[in-house]
A and B are shown apart, each in its own frame.
Chain A
Amino acid sequence: MPSRHGLNRASPYFFLAPAAAVALVGLVYPMLRSVWLSFHEWSIGTPPESARFVGLENYRWLLADDSFWISVGVSMAFAVAVVILEVVLGVALALVLDRDLRGTSLFRTIFILPMMIAPIVVGLIWRFLYNEQFGPLSQALKALGLPGIPWLSSPDMALISVIIADVWQWTPFIFILALAALQGLPASAIEAARIDGATRWQTTLYIKLPLIAPVIAVAALLRLIDAFKVLEVIYILTEGGPGLSTEILSLHIYKTAFVSQQLGRASALSNLLLLIVLMLTLLLVLARSLRERRAGKE
């Protein structure tokens, strides 16, 4: 009979095995495969044996390629813009709706709806809204006697338009987390601030916002990571155009892999994207732990 101790030691691995197997097939293998691919030259449709080892050639080529750097720039601009806008709007909405007035629960429900819609559908909705001939936005402008806006057809406007669509869909994510954080705040601390002479605005600035900041930071980080990986909405709206004006990294990867059929370079690209996201995450985690250590010393 196995000792209780031996059984206990083995059993965690036994229970973890199914999850580990799934992770192995769904996560570890593709990642290793993509690293392997990034050192090879291989086109879709040809047998895997035909893949040719090229060393760091794919990476060297990428780093010398202007369109790569453009799409890095587009991705950065897109991600930073949407995260800032979503955090500002989401937190502001949460502050406004964090009270017990008639109708607030209805508004709360309405505001989180966009998040529930599949990205493809969001893309279609906004393509319709942005349609320069029949779209409601253009119609409204026309009715007001204003000139039309080249929502998706001008390189300058297109990036703004896809940012608006993403902000529309994902502000609710920040909103819902900020609202939950606000409602979890100790009521008496806020009452104490009122007694201490704080106006509503000062209470928000000095008490509520600092207290929900950790939650917002995590939510913003999640959004930042997601913003680097977004694909469907932009694909439907602009396919990265006009020119390369909205070609974010994930779209660039997609095109390299399935339009140019250069899987090696696409793999190298996705590894670089992974690296960027990983570095961003580490940076934020580091900043957070530094701040916590400082707070602990105080």
Chain B
Amino acid sequence: MPHIRIRDLQKHFGDVAVIAGLDLDLADKEFTVLVGPSGCGKSTTLRMIAGLEEASQGEIWIGEREVSRLEPKDRDIAMVFQDYALYPHMDVARNMSFALRLARYPKAEIDARIRRVADMLSIGHLLDRKPAALSGGQRQRVAMGRALVRDAGVFLFDEPLSNLDAKLRNQMRAELALMRKRVEKNMIYVTHDQIEAMTLADRIVVMHAGKVQQQGRPEDLYRAPANLFVAGFIGAPPMNFLPVRLDSQHGQPMLLGRDYTLPVPHSRMAALASYAGRDIIAGIRPSALRQGLGPEGAPALTLHIELAEYVGAQSVLVTRCGGERVIVEVNSEQRLAGEGEQPFWFDPDSLHLFDPETEAAIR
């Protein structure tokens, strides 16, 4: 079973480097999500793995084979496209069996596979329909089915849910997660939606400007973002950033902002040694701030609540801390608990610190 190894993968369009030296190692049977904003190079990377886009340089290994010069059909892959890419003139069964028919599988085998996958995706009743007679969600299932009937080593997904409406997208996302448990294959999934990435991935690769910013398990990326970009991209609502300066106050090292003071987390004392007197960016997640003063000695920020957005079980408070905007996520029972200036406490270790020049996390 293939393990995927990518070394120094590059893609240039003229003088513009879209991907400038990408290295990736994907373990077998892993569900990897490439995530990043539009134009970060994630789709191009996927298309280079598929062989639809030629790499300008670098190596792509699937299992024991270097495939970067091979045709897509010789790479042992199946792919689901963003716009489904169904063959409009073939019915669902023929769409799904196209690859198998080309490979001259016996008819009984083809029928059995289609039946099995169609049952799994609940599209058995659609087999004799043309794509034009299907809804968006049904087309999406057929596109998945067409990939799944093939016993490919690697499955590639190029933003497969982005053309669906929000409700259907949530439903399909859950089904994908279920399917992922039944089909133990190497899967690479591209999306710009960090929620999809967090819910589906064994491993997330965050990309920005043609470079890998960080990769790891979803919880690792959430708990310990490697840099400002990842910190701001993973998590919704996004992390709050407050500019501070490392200084001492009454003989104690403190992070001083214009209108606020933050404690220095003990775990980062040593790493901060060289930052005395320098600017730092402090980050804190909206859910790490809690209404009230908290236990004895817990640090707190005084926030001026400007707006409370009711989402359901959660409410999002839009507040100001001096000149900075700070987003807080609270349980909705607390929503009406007050307006105007209020204290919000937090655990000092929930602070993230970043070097403003390199944008890397200080740990």
Contact = CB atoms under 8 A, between A and B. Distances in A.
Interface stretch (A27-35, A118-126, A204-212): A204-212
A193 interface: yes
A189 B86 contact: yes
A217 B130 CA distance: 21
A211 B87 CA distance: 9
Contact of B130 (A193, A196, A295): A295
B85 A192 contact: yes
B77 A196 contact: no
20 contacts: A186-B83, A188-B83, A188-B84, A189-B86, A189-B87, A192-B86, A192-B87, A192-B146, A193-B87, A195-B73, A195-B78, A196-B73, A196-B98, A196-B102, A196-B146, A196-B150, A197-B99, A197-B103, A207-B87, A210-B89
B297 interface: no
B309 interface: no
B89 A211 contact: yes
A194 interface: yes
| Chain B CB within 10 Å, residue with most, of A191, A195, A202 | A195
Contacts of A298: 91, 128-130
Interface residues of B, number: 28
Nearest to A297: B128
B91 A206 contact: no
A295 B82 CA distance: 26
Interface string B37-48: 000000000000
Given A188-B84, A189-B86, A195-B73, 8 more contacts: A189-B87, A193-B98, A195-B72, A195-B79, A196-B102, A199-B73, A206-B98, A211-B88
Contacts of B262: none
Contact of B72 (A194, A206, A207, A210): A194
Interface of B: 50-52, 71-73, 77-79, 81-89, 91, 98-99, 102-103, 128-130, 146, 150
B142 to A, nearest CB: 12
Contacts of A89: none
Contact of A191 (B81, B91, B128): B81
5 residue pairs, one from A and one from B, having the closest CB atoms: A188-B85, A196-B99, A192-B85, A197-B73, A210-B89
A207 B150 CA distance: 19
A194 B102 contact: no
Nearest to B131: A189
B47 to A, nearest CB: 8
A85 interface: no
B85 A191 contact: yes
A198 interface: yes
